[in-house]
Structure 1
Amino acid sequence: MRYRIAAAVMIAALVVAANAQAAETRCGWIENPTPANWWLEDAENTWTIMTQGDDAGEVEGMELISDISEHDYVRTNGNYGYACACMSVETDGKDRITRILSFRQLKLAKCRADKALKFPG
């Protein structure tokens, strides 16, 4: 009986672990070129956060992204533009951020000095 309980507990733990998404730290250019369009370009990929008219809606944790224009920022289109940031996120493993866990805006110089990053835009 003890073995069955132990086996059930181990199987349950494996199922939970398999379904849990691991947080990833992503650093690069956070871009907001027009209303409701947000993405992050890091050394590996362009990660879509949200796009205008997207059925997926707003990503959980979007409120953690403060007004990027209040810090080191490049204005490209009215009140829209880009900045440098690090985020703790969950992704779909392809090209989409599915949840934002934390957001930290950095100096533009940090991203400009990173040779692995493409210039935004």
Structure 2
Amino acid sequence: MKTNLFISVIVSSLVIVALPAKAVETRCGWLHNPTPRNWYLIDKDGRWIISQQGGYEAQGMDNLPTYNEKEYVKTNGYYGYGCACMDVVTDSDRLRISEIRGGESLPLSTCRQDPNVPKSP
């Protein structure tokens, strides 16, 4: 009985070690918050869902970059967009950001001048 438990523990440990770690990647583009609790990052690869009102929400929302007024475009009262780079874990099959590890806001001109970033949202 002890042998079976010992083998089970070893096998479980090997499975945990064998699981791939989720890769953190840096993505830069327009961080868009058009309405309450709706957040997207729009970059060269598409429109990544960060959160949707009443539904999906990435882990680490408190790690979203903050903006000063000069580098933020208001499009709907308080809501709008800015330019940012974020360290994130993604689900590329669903174009979702699953976790936000950190990030920083950038001058609007950075995204406007980058040929890889789509025109502003």
TM-score by length of 1: 0.80
5+ residue gaps, structure 1? 1-7
CA RMSD of the aligned region, Å?
2.2
Distance 2:98 2:44 in 1: 19
Partner of 2:119: 119
The answer to whether residue 35 in structure 2 is matched with residue 34 in structure 1 is yes
Distance 1:17 1:88, change over 3 A: farther
Distance 1:99 1:115 in 2: 26
Considering fraction of residues, name the structure with more strand.
Answer: 2
Partner of 1:92: 91
Q: Decide whether the 8 Å contact of 2:66 with 2:104 is kept in 1.
A: no
**Deviations, residues 47-81 of structure 1 (Å, cap 9, x unaligned):** 10001111x3x321110124435451111110000
TM-score by length of 2: 0.80
List structure 1 runs of 4+ shifted beyond 6 angstroms. none
**Deviations, residues 77-113 of structure 1 (Å, cap 9, x unaligned):** 1000000000000011220000000110000000000
Q: Give the number of aligned pairs.
A: 111
Distance 1:18 1:70, change over 3 A: farther
Distance 1:70 1:63, change over 3 A: farther
1:1-121 equivalence runs, <5 A: 12=14, 15-54=16-55, 56=56, 58-68=57-67, 70=69, 72-94=71-93, 95-121=95-121
5+ residue gaps, structure 2? 1-9
Higher Rg of the two aligned structures: 2
Which secondary structure does the structure 2 equivalent of 1:52 belong to?
coil
**Deviations, residues 18-52 of structure 1 (Å, cap 9, x unaligned):** 33100011000000000000000111121100011
Which secondary structure does the structure 2 equivalent of 1:112 belong to?
helix
